[in-house]
């Protein structure tokens, strides 16, 4: 997504022929590299699903719903409620669709003669006169413009604008809370409960967080929430926690975590550095709305890791 803005500029050079988006299915947008200190993603990688099928979430969460349509109708500023806001074809016999003008655009040909009111006081050759046809209200008019109105079919999709909003969120992996505490001086025991949680979760590490972005005449508001955190415990176990988890307190003693815990069955003595590497991976769900449409984006791969030591209790027999 770091190169998204340049992609949007490139898209602006392409003329779309209809509002139908390619049958690309989106799967998770996965972080390919996380900053080790901030937990923010440095490189996002979008992994497509099978062509023509919805993106698969890989769990029981919501599925990615695709790109949306770049061209949309919204008559609410004109107090037109029917039809309701939604996608519209990007081209028609009357011309190409402009989101900003909310109509199909085509140049008046031949241009009106000099002095015609359609020039609005300008001379032929100074800008141009354009037809504007709005089939939703059956409104037709002409207007003068210095430059040709932008073709919305050549602009970004709502999903791409939503991704711009996501970039502004600075989402990051959770700060790890775990008991026993990481470090060479802290050692847990085989058979004893391990507690895991998101330490001091905030809107950037757990949500909810909303941002709005605009591009190509499309304005999208996106809201991000963590769906779950998957803890790879280093011993082959993966624990999926649907909440931020409960922080451990010494007063809990040997109680099991009520919502995010694990129990090791062997020591970490056989592991590198005599410790298990524990990795927490956040799975985010972003819902977006705008341009008369709604959608969902799945983000995965924001990770944090630490190491914990697990020993075995020694029994002395006299």
pLDDT tens for 128-140 read 999 999 999 999 9
Higher pLDDT residue, 28 or 76?
76
**Section 173-202 average pLDDT:** 92
Instruction: Strand 193-198: give its sheet, edge to edge.
Output: 176-179, 193-198, 261-263
Helix axes 4-11, 158-169, angle to 10 degrees: 160
pLDDT band for 314, please (50, 70, 90 cuts): low
pLDDT band for 195, please (50, 70, 90 cuts): very high
Name the least confident of 47-56, 151-160, 164-173, 292-301: 47-56
The pTM of this model reads: 0.79
**Average pLDDT of the chain to the nearest whole number:** 86
Distance, CA of 301 to CA of 168 (rounded, Å):
18
Residue 295: per-residue pLDDT: 94
pLDDT band for 7, please (50, 70, 90 cuts): very low
DSSP one-letter code for 40: B
Domains delineated in the chain: 4-70+155-311 (2.60.40.10), 72-154 (no CATH)
Distance, CA of 238 to CA of 21 (rounded, Å):
37
Residue 192: per-residue pLDDT: 94
Residue 25: per-residue pLDDT: 39
Do the beta carbons of residue 142 and residue 129 sit within 8 Å? yes
Give the chain's count of helices (H) and strands (E): 2, 18
Q: Is the predicted pLDDT of residue 62 greater than 50, yes or no? A: yes
pLDDT tens for 272-309 read 889 999 999 999 999 999 999 999 999 998 999 999 99
**Section 208-219 average pLDDT:** 94
Name the least confident of 41-45, 107-111, 302-306: 41-45
Residue 1: per-residue pLDDT: 44
Name the least confident of 30-44, 173-187, 198-212, 233-247: 30-44
Residue 188 has, within 13 A of its CA and on its CB side, a CA count of 26
Higher pLDDT residue, 160 or 19?
160
**Section 188-197 average pLDDT:** 95
pLDDT band for 216, please (50, 70, 90 cuts): confident
pLDDT band for 317, please (50, 70, 90 cuts): low
Q: Is the predicted pLDDT of residue 193 greater than 90, yes or no? A: yes
Name the least confident of 57-61, 227-231, 262-266, 298-302: 57-61
CA atoms 236, 241, 246, 252: torsion sign: negative
Residue 48: per-residue pLDDT: 60
Q: Is the predicted pLDDT of residue 16 greater than 80, yes or no? A: no
pLDDT tens for 79-101 read 998 999 999 999 999 999 999 99
Percent of the chain with pLDDT over 90: 70
Q: Is the predicted pLDDT of residue 225 greater than 50, yes or no? A: yes
3-class DSSP state of 186: coil
């Amino acid at each position: 997504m770091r190169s998204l803005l340049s992609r949007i500029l490139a898209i602006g050079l392409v003329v779309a022929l209809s509002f139908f988006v390619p049958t690309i299915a989106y799967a998770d947008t996965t972080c390919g590299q996380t900053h080790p200190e901030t937990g923010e993603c440095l490189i996002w990688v979008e992994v497509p699903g099978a062509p023509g099928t919805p993106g698969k979430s890989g769990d029981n969460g919501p599925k990615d719903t695709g790109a949306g349509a770049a061209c949309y109708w919204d008559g609410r500023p004109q107090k037109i409620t029917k039809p309701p806001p939604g996608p519209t074809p990007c081209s028609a016999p009357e011309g190409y669709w402009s989101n900003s003008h909310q109509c199909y655009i085509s140049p008046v040909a031949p241009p009106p003669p000099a002095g015609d009111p359609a020039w609005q006081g300008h001379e032929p050759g100074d800008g141009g006169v354009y037809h504007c046809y709005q089939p939703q209200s059956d409104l037709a008019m002409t207007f003068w413009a210095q430059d040709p109105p932008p073709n919305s079919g050549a602009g970004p999709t709502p999903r791409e604008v939503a991704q711009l909003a996501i970039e502004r969120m600075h989402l990051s992996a959770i700060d790890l809370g775990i008991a026993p505490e990481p470090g060479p001086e802290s050692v847990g025991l085989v058979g004893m409960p391990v507690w895991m949680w998101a330490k001091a979760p905030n809107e950037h590490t757990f949500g909810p967080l909303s941002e709005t972005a605009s591009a190509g005449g499309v304005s999208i508001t996106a809201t991000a929430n963590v769906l779950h955190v998957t803890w790879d415990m280093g011993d082959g176990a993966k624990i999926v926690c649907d909440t931020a988890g409960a922080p451990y307190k010494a007063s809990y003693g040997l109680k099991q975590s009520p919502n995010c815990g694990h129990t090791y069955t062997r020591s970490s003595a056989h592991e590198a550095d005599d410790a298990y590497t524990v990795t927490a991976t956040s799975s985010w769900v972003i819902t977006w709305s705008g341009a008369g449409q709604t959608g969902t984006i799945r983000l995965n791969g924001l990770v944090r890791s630490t190491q914990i030591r697990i020993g075995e209790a020694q029994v002395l027999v006299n």
